[in-house]
């Protein structure tokens, strides 16, 4: 959870980014604008596309890149895969710094993002899997019956005496 979200929930006292100390740590800041993320994007996004790449709306930014059908010029790997892999590596490196005080060099983050993208892309090619169509929607599915039963068990008056240890543990947290 970013510091902006922690402050919003009254968990934290500062919304400042712990990596750069220059801006509020929103999710868009971590993934797009912070020094680490910015360095990654400077390396990955062709310079001709950089002005259009940055977006102030998180959802639009992610959707535009995930729906992209472009191939990255180096290695013919789908940009959407590389974009998502890079987001994941940027987020993981941020967490390692915040929680374990371990800083990862930009080149290492970049290398992992590219390696995972190539691996995933190869697996998709071997199995004839194509990127999902962004124009399609995923319909909502009714929860499985056992989900409903679990919710009922958790909401039961004596959930703290349930025969299921997990239900008892959750009941004690409330
Ligand atoms: Zn920052």
Instruction: Judge whether residue 58 has pLDDT over 80.
Output: yes
16-40 tens-digit pLDDT: 999 999 999 999 999 999 999 999 9
Average pLDDT of span 63-78: 84
Contact 32, 41 (CB under 8 A): yes
Instruction: Judge whether residue 83 has pLDDT over 80.
Output: yes
Same domain? 145 vs 118: no
Q: What is the CA(104)–ligand 1 centre distance, in A? A: 14
Whether residue 8 lies inside any domain: the answer is no
Residues with CB under 5 A from ligand 1 (ion): 17, 19-20, 34
What pLDDT is recorded for position 73? 75
| Residue 102, domain extent | 40-126
Q: What is the CA(103)–ligand 1 centre distance, in A? A: 13
125-150 tens-digit pLDDT: 888 877 666 666 667 777 777 777 87
Same domain? 120 vs 150: no
Whether residue 86 lies inside any domain: the answer is yes
């Amino acid at each position: 959870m970013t510091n902006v979200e922690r402050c919003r929930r009254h968990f934290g006292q500062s919304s400042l980014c712990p990596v750069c100390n220059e801006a509020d740590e929103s999710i868009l800041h971590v993934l797009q604008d912070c020094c680490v993320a910015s360095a990654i994007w400077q390396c990955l996004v062709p310079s001709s596309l950089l002005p259009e790449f940055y977006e102030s709306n998180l959802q639009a930014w992610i959707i535009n890149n995930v729906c992209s059908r472009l191939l990255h010029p180096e290695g013919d790997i789908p940009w959407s895969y590389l974009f998502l892999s890079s987001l994941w590596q940027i987020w993981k490196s941020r967490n390692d710094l915040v929680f374990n005080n371990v800083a990862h060099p930009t080149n290492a983050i970049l290398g992992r993002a590219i390696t995972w993208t190539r691996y995933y892309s190869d697996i998709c090619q071997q199995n004839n899997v194509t990127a999902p169509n962004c124009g399609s929607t995923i319909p909502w599915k009714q929860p499985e019956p056992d989900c409903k039963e679990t919710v009922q068990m958790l909401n039961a008056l004596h959930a703290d005496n349930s025969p299921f240890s997990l239900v008892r543990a959750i009941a004690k947290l409330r």
